[in-house]
Structure 1
Amino acid sequence: MKSNYDILGNHIRLIDTRNRESITDRVLGINIDKFFMPSVANVIGTDLSKYKLITKGKFACNPMHVGRDERLPVALYDEDTPALVSPAYFMFEVIDDSLLNEDYLMMWFRRPEFDRICWLHTDGSVRGGITWDDICRLELPIPPIEKQLEIVNSYKAITERIALKQKINDNLEATLSALYKEFFTITSSDELPFGWRVAPFSDIAAITMGQSPQGDDCNNNGVGEPLLNGPTEFGFYSPSPMQWTTNGKKHCVEGDLLFCVRGSTTGRMNWANQSYAIGRGLAAIHHKSDCTLNWFVKAMIDNSLQEILSAATGSTFPNVGKDLLNGFQVIIPDDNSLREFGVKGHSIFSMISNNAKEIDVLVGLQRTLLSKLTI
């Protein structure tokens, strides 16, 4: 153990405060990205007095699915109003915040290496749980509190910048959507202006459905061409490959719109920042004749996304096939109308893109900061 390392159990303790006085009925879970979220469990008729009452500055974690998800869902509660978590969760707090800062500890929990170590400690059950004793035996670096606070403040500054850019983009995307509908929403084909037409999406866009290479042709060592399999590689604007292949089957090119076509993340999108081999979870889409109008193709998809998802097949999660993407109906304007819309639309899209690119850079800085916690 390095000189500034200590076992986690010396700095945290379990707490078990129950909702016996019915203080709240708001039940939260924890997602694999380590944030609290509204619980998906059906608690109608459940005795909530048995649930644990979490307050600001306390941690909770779900120890039951670590082997399955390869992550320990753990989060720091930062709201002023108390909430409830499952009785099966571990709820704990820092013993002495003059030795270990709670935000610094949460940063440590966000490191991929922390999840890898937790996964190695899981038991032999189907889903693979982790015990409290195993969590307490984990080691972490504990520099002087002044150094911890310096690291935390740097991380928070980046996080706040990301949140600001996300909020700006949410507003810009709503503006672009409203602008698109203002220009192109027609209630009847009889109302179409001269030169406009209703046509299948395939009339304006070319679609390449991904095809996964054989497992033996894939590697994590950078050999061959970068391979994208789905949204796990997505950033806010462009992806970062985690795998490579020596035998790519289908490809996207720089500037293509990447569209998730399988599973719970169907409909998520990113922009290709280079050529990639693409697996079966993705489709690559671009304007048939003018790649500078790829952003307009995305606006068309955004406007029809709920329609596409509703028509998708799949008993649990939607799967979008090529025929569905090719066949959904869009309004294709004449060139003059598109240019008129493009002056406003492309300006907004450019601002969204620049913000998303900055967020990707900021997320990279966050990862770098987390990686340096062991130094």
Structure 2
Amino acid sequence: MTLTRYRLGDLIEQVNTRNKDVNNKYTVSEVRGISNKKEFIETKAKMNGVSLDNYKLVKPSEFVYMTVTSRNGDKLSVAFNNTNETYLVSSSYITFKVKSDNKIIEDYLFMTLNRTEFDRLSRINSWGSARETLSWEDFCDIKIDLPPLDIQKKYVAIYKAMLANQAAYEKGLEDLKLICFAHIEHIRKNSELFPIGNYIEPINEKNSDGAIKLEQGINIEKRFINPQRPNSNLKGRKIVRTGQFAYCTQLNNENVAIALREDEDCVVSSVYDVFKITKEYEILPNYLMLWLIRPEFGRYVYWASEGSAYEFLSYENLSNYLIPVPPIEVQNSIADIYKVYTERKEINEKLKERLKNICPILIKGAVEEAKRKEA
């Protein structure tokens, strides 16, 4: 046998094990969402009081996908559990596994699903008005060309070797982050704490002449990003100069969108507040930012915010956040470690993107090798 065309439904079958079926063995710590990057992600939703009875289990070697494809970056959110852990996902997701007739390897199936070509097929086969969805039936009707198992194993081995290299790099990355945060936690426990308001001041500079053409937003990962809805008229928007900070005053769960501007000057929406350090001889911008990305700051923000329908973090309450202020040379050493971490993190993200981009190349190689055997 060489190359064979199959319906996905001939290769996979749906599973529907609920948490209540295993006596609610799994807890909030096992709950996961799925990103359109084809990864499991920790959920940011508040789970207090939420019943996990009907949450679905995703066991090792099983798959899950979200049926909604509209407003999802033209991508299908699907993930493969290649760990030894069992996860919980929303009951609105569809969980499935490879059939036991040994026609396709799980990793090869995931490589097939992890391609822009498959994203396009998913969008073409989605239906709906307010929201477009890819039903299980339509998902199963998608056809793929499948090479024999020996060829699948060959290309899966290549993919797994690349994954292992990336995972090793990522582990070293997390070790570096741990060193950095352990260092600043040691300083916090052994130093006097000061309100950051002693070292910063608010800025309210407007783009009155419209000279700055770059508009930015900030996400909860503490990064400047392109806004989802760009505006043509940027006059009157707040300016964020290089070296200044900006944050969204409206709280996002236990988090705040805050970032240090290290690139060229930009403008942000009026829902943001802007501030700068006034005593850089006492505290470095990158050192201060280290304290603003910690989970402890998120908890402080949640406590210090005020409001009814929406909660807001005022500049005054932000100013009361306490941090240690060691000598500049100590701040520099910590900031340098974190700079190396962020640089390597960006490299790691590029590696992960390249891994995804390699999937269509490997699948194409497997298909072409099978065709050559037919000739």
TM-score by structure 1 length? 0.68
Residue among 146, 157, 182 paired with 2:165: 157
Query: Partner of 1:320 in structure 2?
Result: 313
- Aligned ranges for residues 61-210 of structure 1 at < 5 Å? 61-63=65-67, 65-67=68-70, 72-80=76-84, 82=86, 85=89, 87-95=91-99, 100-106=104-110, 109=113, 118=122, 121-124=125-128, 126=130, 128-138=132-142, 144-145=151-152, 146-185=154-193, 201=197, 203-208=198-203
Partner SS state of residue 128, structure 2: coil
Partner SS state of residue 227, structure 1: coil
Task: Sort the Cα spacing of 1:12 and 1:304 in 2 relative to 1 into closer, same or farther, 3 A.
Answer: closer
Same amino acid, percent of matched pairs:
18
RMSD (Å), alpha carbons: 4.5
Compute the displacement of 1:108 (Å): 5.7
Please give the alpha-carbon distance, in whole angstroms, between the structure 1 residues aligned to 2:205 and 2:113: 34
Please give the alpha-carbon distance, in whole angstroms, between the structure 2 residues aligned to 1:313 and 1:121: 46
Please give the alpha-carbon distance, in whole angstroms, between the structure 2 residues aligned to 1:97 and 1:370: 27
Compute the displacement of 1:96 (Å): 7.2
Does residue 287 (structure 1) correspond to residue 277 (structure 2)? The answer is: yes
Please give the alpha-carbon distance, in whole angstroms, between the structure 2 residues aligned to 1:22 and 1:199: 49
Query: Partner of 1:272 in structure 2?
Result: 261
Write out per-residue CA displacement over residues 254-310 of structure 1, whole angstroms, 9 at most, x where no aligned residue. 444454543526425444341153433655543225387113433564575533332
Equivalent AA in structure 1 for residue 33 of structure 2: N
Query: Partner of 1:31 in structure 2?
Result: 33
Task: Sort the Cα spacing of 1:29 and 1:354 in 2 relative to 1 into closer, same or farther, 3 A.
Answer: same
Partner SS state of residue 344, structure 1: helix
Does residue 346 (structure 1) correspond to residue 351 (structure 2)? The answer is: no
Task: Sort the Cα spacing of 1:157 and 1:120 in 2 relative to 1 into closer, same or farther, 3 A.
Answer: same
Compute the displacement of 1:30 (Å): 3.5
Compute the displacement of 1:132 (Å): 0.8
Partner SS state of residue 56, structure 1: coil
Please give the alpha-carbon distance, in whole angstroms, between the structure 2 residues aligned to 1:372 and 1:102: 17
Query: Partner of 2:240 in structure 1?
Result: 252
Please give the alpha-carbon distance, in whole angstroms, between the structure 1 residues aligned to 2:261 and 2:120: 29
Task: Sort the Cα spacing of 1:370 and 1:308 in 2 relative to 1 into closer, same or farther, 3 A.
Answer: same
Consecutive unaligned residues of structure 2, counting only runs of 5 or more, are 362-375
Contact 1:183 1:341 survives alignment (8 Å) = no
TM-score by structure 2 length? 0.68
Query: Partner of 1:307 in structure 2?
Result: 300
Write out per-residue CA displacement over residues 311-333 of structure 1, whole angstroms, 9 at most, x where no aligned residue. 223546643344543x43657x9
Contact 2:66 2:92 survives alignment (8 Å) = yes
Please give the alpha-carbon distance, in whole angstroms, between the structure 2 residues aligned to 1:346 and 1:270: 19
Contact 2:114 2:359 survives alignment (8 Å) = no
Compute the displacement of 1:351 (Å): 0.6
Contact 1:209 1:282 survives alignment (8 Å) = no
Task: Sort the Cα spacing of 1:259 and 1:20 in 2 relative to 1 into closer, same or farther, 3 A.
Answer: closer
Equivalent AA in structure 2 for residue 133 of structure 1: E
Equivalent AA in structure 1 for residue 155 of structure 2: K
Task: Sort the Cα spacing of 1:246 and 1:113 in 2 relative to 1 into closer, same or farther, 3 A.
Answer: farther
Consecutive unaligned residues of structure 1, counting only runs of 5 or more, are 186-197, 218-223
